[in-house]
Structure 1
Amino acid sequence: MYFLSFLLLSINLFIFSLWLMINDYVFIIEYKLLVLNSSGLEMVILVDWMSMLFMSFVLYISSMVIYYSVEYMMGDLKLNRFILLVVMFVLSMMLLIISPNLISILLGWDGLGLVSYCLVIYYQNIKSYNAGMLTALTNRIGDVALLLGIAWMLNYGSWNYIFYLEFMKNDISMQMISWLIVLAAMTKSAQIPFSSWLPAAMAAPTPVSSLVHSSTLVTAGVYLLIRFNFALSYNLLLLLLFIGTMTMFMAGLGANFEFDLKKIIALSTLSQLGLMMSILALGDYKLSFFHLLSHALFKATLFMCAGCIIHNLNNCQDIRFMGSLVKQLPLTCCFFNISNLSLCGFPFLAGFYSKDLILEILSMNYLNMFIYLIFFISTGLTVSYSFRLVYYSLVGDFNFLALHSLSDSGKIMLKSMMGLIFFVIMGGSILMWILFSTPYFICLPILMKLMALIVTMFGVWLGIEFSYFTLNYDVKSLKLINISLFFSSMWNMPILSTFGVNYLSINLGKFLYLNIDQGWSEYFGSQKIYLNMKKMSIFNQFIFFNNMKIYFMLLVLYMIILFLMI
């Protein structure tokens, strides 16, 4: 039911977005709820080509994911609950997409955070719990930043930010709001230093990962910045560019040392998010949006294929156990390869049109050597981990159980992947014809034009070399293990965001508990009062029990003193 309704709604919204784009129409629907200290609180819906197009993509991918879940989660007793959680997740994203108002954005934003926590802890074990807490608490930082932004926007008498972005750009309040919005977007889109929650969130079921990493949760931050891009100052854009490029490089490097299939694909998402943030910071928000949409298509398919492989291998996610799967799961591996090549930017697939254009525009708008090199090295690393993944899972030796039964038997899962694979092949060119009214004119020297192809070829060689090295290293090479551990642990960020945050506070709590709670405050406080009262009570009791003896003794003593005085 949800699958069909989402699919039909997606097709209608796509046609509607084309109509809006052709006629250059924007509709803003307002409903005033209340006026608070001359600040109007309205429920506002923004209907323009960008929001409608993004909504159609989100709905199409979520319809395929829900259809896929019917078979993937077949053994689950609470399948309806799972489907309803996914629907709530999609509806929260819808609210965020159509809101030009910070209050309603916060509702969608918090809805995403809450439902993502419920989905990450879905399997209810200690790993899921830890991942869920890390996800929820990291995203709370962004929620607080958004709340502070709402408080600052009270100065304008309304929270409809879309009216104030450009002409209030130099106002101190708008600058403060834009800094807070960037902080919120960085937490939701997992930029450095908030990156560690993204691979941890892989504890969620694979259909959820497919939805989260393609078009919903992690893209919410990028989408918010695309909406806010007119208000961002030069210094803020420079900071965002540096953070985006570092995230892209760090994720690409980490994925080359990772062995968990889902975590490799999660790190590739992180790398692409860094790319989107970087090109947004360079000033081309439309190109960032273009890559956001094309990335959503192949990333959803990639996760679906990974889920199909994991499903067949009895929930084994380690790529070292896989190999020669192309012989046993030919159709799944075919989809997997197409999605992987699209991620690498293979010519004329969906990823090529946005990725190649980003690199060529960067080459034309030369900023500095550092940014140029990081962009191209990160692209090479993307190709490297993709080919390493292909080598391990599809080509290398099969290392799983001798007794196994692998086959492309999941009809529903294959149908849902087929629904996306057409757009993974054709989506990039279709989007390019739709989004850009005039084509980009690229004029570069031959060597710079071929630079993307050169780093791609270098990445292929590097990926195969990485695979050979990790398969065949001897004991003497174990001294390199510390370096690989550092790279694969995302520059120690998960340790810093868990152990680094917890250790000092818990240690301080232990010190305070032992020295204050059970120490001098106990001695001078409640325990001391209790002991004093106990002593007084014993003394009074002694007097009450021996009052006659004490009376006679005092009488005798009085008589002796009286006799001596006479």
Structure 2
Amino acid sequence: MCLMSFYCLISISLSFFIMSFWFIMNDLILFLEWEIVSLNSMAVVMTVLLDWMSLLFMSFVLLISSLVIFYSKEYMSNDININRFIMLVLMFVLSMMMLIISPNLISILLGWDGLGLVSYCLVIYFQNIKSYNAGMLTALSNRIGDVALLLAIAWMLNYGSWNYIFYLEVMKSNFEMQLIGGLVMLAAMTKSAQIPFSSWLPAAMAAPTPVSALVHSSTLVTAGVYLLIRFNFLLVENWLGQLLLLLSGLTMFMAGLGANFEFDLKKIIALSTLSQLGLMMSILSMGYFKLAFFHLLTHALFKALLFMCAGAIIHNMDNCQDIRLMGGLSSEMPLTSTCFNVSNLALCGMPFLAGFYSKDLILEMVSLSFINKFSFFLYFFSTGLTVCYSFRLVYYTMTGTLNCGALNVLNDEGWIMLKGMLGLLFMSIIGGSLLSWMIFPTPVMICLPYYLKYLTLFVCILGGLMGYFMSVVSLYFVNKSFLNYLGSLFLGSMWFMPYISTYGLISFPLKLGKKVIVSFDQGWSEYLGAQNIYFKLMNLSQLNYLLHRNSLKIYLLSFMLWVIFLFILF
């Protein structure tokens, strides 16, 4: 089933890629409407929007999911329910397809809720208490966004159609449409894990690694960014864009700081995804939706590769994820280490790899724009933090000797996993230049002062040196962090957001709901309502049954009682 799914998805991906190229060259948009049922004046219509953006995104989603399914053939080979796993992944991809091609809020909600439901099933795939808790946190955090989308659908009843494409121009000046935009922005923030909904993203690492590769690159977390790219008119020159710029900048900063304190391999990469999502959201809030889409695609390529490499390392380390127990992997697993380092450098924005073309362009456009000093600082400092934790990760995993005490046989003999990784390695190298030629066919001159032009490069070099220096003299920094334990705990635990989310935002309403159910639904309403009425009626029906049995004993007994009653009365 793995191979069949792989061949089907990759062939569809190639056809979509060629179609997207044709649509860009000819400036085409295809808007299809299929009337499912018509009853009097009401029509249920299924709408499909095919333009260069949706086709290109679908092509990338299918490419990555096909390689992830191929990779899973070996990674999940010991799982007796591997076909169930593949079916869940295919349902996940299908939900994403539904979301991408929909210009209609109703059909978007189908894909949106499909992503939420299937992601819950995948997070709890390894059935243990940690996975169940992570799945519940993921599901309940995303429900907030689902409710916001439902409210937006209800509010759009005022306009006669749920096809938001028709109203994008009106949305700029109309306050009611800005309210709908605020609800859509809230939904996108929950799905893309922006502050204050960030805690579910690292928790979702309880899912199998192939799922993490798919979720963190092109499906679940990018759904919110993609939705806002479609609604980008709402964010320009109003309070929604300014609020999103602040929150996404803080998310980027918080995730970069947290990753420098983390020792779990998958959580470091998850926090790096959170940082990149903050970058996409922040540049989107400034009105550069094409740049956000460009970075979304390049990020999908190297992030999927990064997770697949991490999965191969964890597989070889007997399911150990602590980077302090790794080391010397470059000599033991050279091919995996090559893929890991290339994807890491692409994440850092190494010149001429995929990440460079989008990140460098984003930071140069930020330097060119009218932006306040705080947001400018968040952009560049977070970029430095990205390089810092990437170099720290490379130092701990690749250099020195293996720190694990037990005997581990490390090798690169997982050929099926390697073939999946090498496909993405090729795309991580050439993907950025290929996409830049496609999306920006006309070159644009970005004229900046000398020091601003080189600021990105300077910040990256400084961040890399800092990450390496902190790792080499790590004992000094560990001692310092123990001296300032509360500060380190605050920065390393995502500014206490997981505790606030679980004990505050989720635990308190659930406990309150339990009290309401016990005291009202199962208490007074049962006593005054259904249950008590049921018992009363049951007793009366039993008495009625006895009277209707025509028993002589009952009639004699009732006659005697009447006689005694009349005797007492008179």
Do the structures match in fold with TM over 0.5? yes
Identify if the C-alpha distance between structure 1 residues 278 and 505 changes in structure 2 by more than 3 Å, giving closer, same or farther.
closer
State the Cα distance separating 1:396 from its structure 2 match: 3.6
- For 1:320-351, what per-residue CA distance to the aligned partner results, in whole angstroms no more than 9, with x for missing partners? 10011111001000000000000000000000
The alignment of Structure 1 onto Structure 2 pairs a total of residues equal to 533
Say if 1:199 and 1:263, in contact at 8 Å, map to a contact too. yes
Identify if the C-alpha distance between structure 1 residues 40 and 176 changes in structure 2 by more than 3 Å, giving closer, same or farther.
farther
Say if 2:248 and 2:281, in contact at 8 Å, map to a contact too. yes
- For 1:255-312, what per-residue CA distance to the aligned partner results, in whole angstroms no more than 9, with x for missing partners? 0000000000000000000000001011110000000000000000000000000000
Task: Say whether residues 1:322 and 2:355 are aligned partners.
Answer: no
Task: Say whether residues 1:222 and 2:225 are aligned partners.
Answer: yes
Q: How does 1:511-522 map to 2 (within 5 A)?
A: none
Q: How does 1:230-241 map to 2 (within 5 A)?
A: 230-232=233-235, 234-241=238-245
Q: 1:373 aligns with which of 368, 377, 383?
A: 377
Query: Unpaired runs of 5+ in structure 1?
Result: 527-550, 552-566
- For 2:140, the aligned partner's letter is L
Cα distance between partner residues in 1 of 2:512 and 2:25:
62
Tell me the equivalent position of 2:338.
334
State the Cα distance separating 1:156 from its structure 2 match: 1.4
Cα distance between partner residues in 1 of 2:285 and 2:99:
22
SS of 1:165's partner is helix
Bigger-Rg structure (1/2): 1
Tell me the equivalent position of 2:402.
398
State the Cα distance separating 1:390 from its structure 2 match: 0.4
SS of 1:258's partner is coil
- For 1:420, the aligned partner's letter is L
Tell me the equivalent position of 1:485.
489
SS of 1:164's partner is helix
Tell me the equivalent position of 2:59.
56
Identify if the C-alpha distance between structure 1 residues 491 and 36 changes in structure 2 by more than 3 Å, giving closer, same or farther.
farther
- For 1:186-236, what per-residue CA distance to the aligned partner results, in whole angstroms no more than 9, with x for missing partners? 000000000000000000000000000000000000000001112335111
Query: Unpaired runs of 5+ in structure 2?
Result: 532-563, 565-570
SS of 2:168's partner is coil
State the Cα distance separating 1:38 from its structure 2 match: 5.6
Cα distance between partner residues in 1 of 2:114 and 2:457:
42
Identify if the C-alpha distance between structure 1 residues 279 and 36 changes in structure 2 by more than 3 Å, giving closer, same or farther.
farther
Tell me the equivalent position of 1:24.
27
Identify if the C-alpha distance between structure 1 residues 396 and 167 changes in structure 2 by more than 3 Å, giving closer, same or farther.
same
SS of 2:170's partner is coil
Tell me the equivalent position of 1:276.
280
SS of 2:233's partner is helix
Q: How does 1:496-507 map to 2 (within 5 A)?
A: 496-505=500-509
Q: How does 1:329-368 map to 2 (within 5 A)?
A: 329-368=333-372
Tell me the equivalent position of 1:123.
126
- For 1:391, the aligned partner's letter is Y
Cα distance between partner residues in 2 of 1:519 and 1:157:
44
Q: 2:269 aligns with which of 240, 243, 265?
A: 265
Tell me the equivalent position of 1:311.
315
Cα distance between partner residues in 1 of 2:264 and 2:345:
20
SS of 2:484's partner is helix
- For 1:82, the aligned partner's letter is F
State the Cα distance separating 1:37 from its structure 2 match: 9.3
Q: How does 1:348-497 map to 2 (within 5 A)?
A: 348-472=352-476, 478-497=482-501
Greater alpha carbon shift after TM alignment, 500-509 vs 56-65:
500-509
Identify if the C-alpha distance between structure 1 residues 320 and 108 changes in structure 2 by more than 3 Å, giving closer, same or farther.
same
Cα distance between partner residues in 1 of 2:479 and 2:285:
45
Tell me the equivalent position of 1:144.
147
State the Cα distance separating 1:522 from its structure 2 match: 13
Cα distance between partner residues in 1 of 2:431 and 2:358:
11
Cα distance between partner residues in 2 of 1:411 and 1:188:
34
What is the CA RMSD across the aligned residues, in angstroms? 2.7
Q: How does 1:75-154 map to 2 (within 5 A)?
A: 75-154=78-157
- For 2:291, the aligned partner's letter is L
Tell me the equivalent position of 2:542.
none
- For 1:387-406, what per-residue CA distance to the aligned partner results, in whole angstroms no more than 9, with x for missing partners? 00001111144211341200
SS of 2:162's partner is coil
Cα distance between partner residues in 2 of 1:59 and 1:163:
29
Identify if the C-alpha distance between structure 1 residues 87 and 476 changes in structure 2 by more than 3 Å, giving closer, same or farther.
closer
Q: 1:204 aligns with which of 202, 207, 226?
A: 207
Cα distance between partner residues in 1 of 2:48 and 2:519:
56
- For 1:434, the aligned partner's letter is M
Say if 1:206 and 1:303, in contact at 8 Å, map to a contact too. yes
Tell me the equivalent position of 1:534.
none
Identify if the C-alpha distance between structure 1 residues 405 and 239 changes in structure 2 by more than 3 Å, giving closer, same or farther.
same
Tell me the equivalent position of 1:537.
none
- For 1:72, the aligned partner's letter is Y
Say if 2:388 and 2:466, in contact at 8 Å, map to a contact too. yes
Tell me the equivalent position of 1:564.
none
State the Cα distance separating 1:35 from its structure 2 match: 5.7
Tell me the equivalent position of 1:190.
193
TM-score of the pair, normalised by structure 2? 0.89
State the Cα distance separating 1:157 from its structure 2 match: 1.1
Say if 1:252 and 1:381, in contact at 8 Å, map to a contact too. yes
Identify if the C-alpha distance between structure 1 residues 476 and 360 changes in structure 2 by more than 3 Å, giving closer, same or farther.
closer
